[in-house]
Every structure is written in structure tokens, then in C-alpha cells.
């Protein structure tokens, strides 16, 4: 069951689908999407509807296929016939867009997956995943339901474990449509290593973006410029 396909649209130009990280709540992304909207029709997917009145309601365990199918429904609603969309996914959203590219490459021009935390395919991936979860989760987890629910609470309770267990397919039909990105400030860290590993395994490109894991929030203008250039280069290469 995929549920409603909540989304917001701003700007004009080629369609750029954005899947946020965490529990998919787009909080903090407005500076980035505002800058991108100068060049693109930015479609921000809110896979759980947390920014559309559903924060605090019960949420079942989530899986990347849930989010990618919702994103695909959004594309069917907003993408003009015959056109393909650019896609950005950050963190958990990065895992979802990898799944989207594997399932529905025909509607996608190019996908940028920024620091997707799918560490299971790494050598000793089970141990690395346990360390990642232990570093994020803890005894004082914020609530996931009720009036005091937070997006972080939903992420820790319903997204973190199933998403980090996701493994990419053995091969992609269109690896030339993929860039796996990591923040320059993440060098030497687990998610930078994961991004490089995934790019090599899937045959996609690897790129560094400004900042660290939250570069899209901390450096929105610089991040948007590098993202735009990545899409420009990919369009030139595939032309």
C-alpha cells in the first residue's frame, strides 16, 4: 500500500523531483527549492504527508519501494507526456530515488542520490549498519505519534532500520542516468565511503557537493548550483 502522493510545486522549467531525507518532511529545504525554482519546476515529494497534516498520526514501517512508488505517482501527475524528470534525493530520500531509478527509469532524465545511508552492501555491511543505527538511535528517542510527534521521531521509529537494510539491484538499466553524491565535508566518513562504493557498484558517476550530510540545508545556493551543473553535464553527455 503506497498511500497518498503528497507534494508541492514551485517554479517553471524542466521538472525536478525532490525527495527529502529523514522521514520525508521537507522542513528546511525552502532556500534550496527557491533557488532551484529559478531554473526548474521543483516538485517536492512529501511521502508520508508529514507537512500536509499527517504528523502525529500512526505510521507503519516504511520501505524504499513505498516512497519510490509514491514518487512515481507524483511524476505521473505532474510530468508532461514524453518528458523525463531530473531527480534529487537526500539521505533516506537518496535511497528512495535509487529504488525509483531501478523501477521506473523510463520517466527519469538523471538522478542524484546524495549520501544515501544504505550501508548494508559495504564489506562488513551488517556491522557498519549496526554502528550507524546505534549512533543515531537511543533511549531518548523523540515521539513518532501524538501531539508531540516529530519528524525525527518518525524517522527513527519507522524509516531508519528498513531503509538502511535496502540493497541496490545487481545492475541498473541506465547507469548513465545516475550520480551518487557525497558532501566534501564528509570525506573519510561512512556515508562518503558508501556513496563512492555505490557509484562504482552501480556504474554511475560520483560527485562531491558542498558541505556535509546536510549540505542541501546548510549551503543551499552552492548546493543548487552544483546540482544544476550536474544535470547540465548529464544532459550534454546523453545528447
Task: State what percent of residues in the chain have pLDDT above 70.
Answer: 97
- Take residue 120 and report the three cell numbers written for it: 548494508
Question: What is the arithmetic mean of pLDDT over 121-130?
Answer: 95
What is the Rg, in whole angstroms, of the alpha carbon atoms belonging to the chain? 16
Q: Which of 40, 71, 94 is nearest to 214 (CA)?
A: 94
Q: Percentages helix, strand, coil for the chain, rounded to the nearest 5? A: 45, 15, 40
Instruction: Residue 96: name the closest of 23, 204, 191, 185 by CA.
Output: 23
pTM for the whole structure:
0.96
Q: Is the pLDDT of residue 130 over 90?
A: yes
Query: For residues 156 and 138, which has the higher predicted lDDT (pLDDT)?
Result: 156
- Give pLDDT, residue 235: 79
Q: What are the cell numbers at 70?
A: 509514491
| Residue 10 maps to a domain | yes
The domain of 141 spans: 6-238
User: 153 in a domain, yes or no?
Assistant: yes
pLDDT at 31 (0 to 100): 98
Domain count, the chain: 1
Q: Does the residue 1 lie in any domain?
A: no
Per the domain annotation, does 111 fall within a domain? Answer: yes
Backbone angles phi, psi at 61, to 5 degrees: -55, 135
Q: How confident is the model at residue 224 (pLDDT cuts 50, 70, 90)?
A: very high
Q: Please check whether residue 94 lies inside any domain of the structure.
A: yes
Q: What is the pLDDT of residue 5?
A: 77
In-domain check, residue 20: yes
List the CATH number of the domain containing 129: 3.40.50.1820
d(CA 165, CA 99): 13
Sheet holding 6-10, edge to edge: 6-10, 41-46, 15-19, 85-90, 108-114, 178-183, 205-209
Q: Are 209 and 199 in contact (CB under 8 A)?
A: no
pLDDT for 213 equals 98
**Cβ-proximal residues to 190 (8 Å cutoff; 6+ apart), any chain:** 119, 128, 131, 132
- Mean pLDDT across the chain, nearest whole number? 95
Q: What per-residue confidence (pLDDT) applies to 1? A: 46
The string of pLDDT tens digits covering residues 139-152 is 788 999 999 999 99
pLDDT at 164 exceeding the cut of 90 = yes
pLDDT in tens, 32-72: 999 999 999 999 999 999 999 999 999 999 999 999 999 99
The β-bridge partners of 6 are: 46
pLDDT value of residue 72: 96
Q: What angle do CA 41, 180, 189 make, to 5 degrees?
A: 125
If pLDDT is split at 50, 70 and 90, which confidence band does 239 have? very low
Q: Are 86 and 14 in contact (CB under 8 A)?
A: yes
Specify burial of residue 137 (Cβ count, 10 A radius: 0-12, 13-18, 19+). middle
Q: Is 93 a domain residue? A: yes
Instruction: Decide if pLDDT at 202 tops 90.
Output: yes
Amino acid at each position: 500500500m503506497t498511500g497518498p502522493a503528497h507534494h508541492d510545486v514551485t517554479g517553471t522549467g524542466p521538472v525536478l523531483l525532490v525527495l527529502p531525507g529523514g522521514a520525508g518532511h521537507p522542513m528546511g529545504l525552502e532556500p534550496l527549492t527557491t533557488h532551484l525554482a529559478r531554473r526548474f519546476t521543483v516538485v517536492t515529494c512529501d511521502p508520508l504527508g508529514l507537512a500536509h497534516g499527517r504528523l502525529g498520526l500512526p505510521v507503519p514501517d516504511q520501505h524504499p519501494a513505498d516512497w519510490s512508488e509514491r514518487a512515481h505517482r507524483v511524476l505521473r501527475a505532474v510530468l508532461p507526456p514524453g518528458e523525463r524528470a531530473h531527480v534529487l534525493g537526500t539521505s533516506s530520500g537518496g535511497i528512495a530515488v535509487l529504488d525509483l531509478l531501478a523501477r521506473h527509469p523510463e520517466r527519469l532524465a538523471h538522478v542524484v542520490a546524495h549520501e544515501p545511508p544504505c550501508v548494508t552492501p559495504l564489506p562488513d555491511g551488517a556491522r557498519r549498519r549496526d554502528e550507524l543505527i546505534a549512533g543515531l538511535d537511543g533511549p531518548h528517542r523523540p515521539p513518532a505519534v501524538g501531539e508531540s510527534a516529530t519528524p525525527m521521531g518518525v524517522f527513527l521509529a519507522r524509516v531508519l532500520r528498513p531503509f538502511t537494510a535496502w540493497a541496490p539491484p545487481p545492475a541498473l538499466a541506465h547507469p548513465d542516468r545516475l550520480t551518487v553524491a557525497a558532501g566534501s565535508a564528509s570525506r573519510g566518513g561512512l556515508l562518503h565511503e558508501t556513496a563512492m562504493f555505490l557509484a562504482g557498484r552501480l556504474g554511475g558517476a560520483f560527485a562531491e557537493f558542498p558541505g556535509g550530510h546536510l549540505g542541501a540545508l546548510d549551503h543551499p545556493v552552492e548546493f543548487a548550483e552544483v546540482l544544476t551543473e550536474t544535470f547540465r553535464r548529464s544532459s550534454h553527455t546523453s545528447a
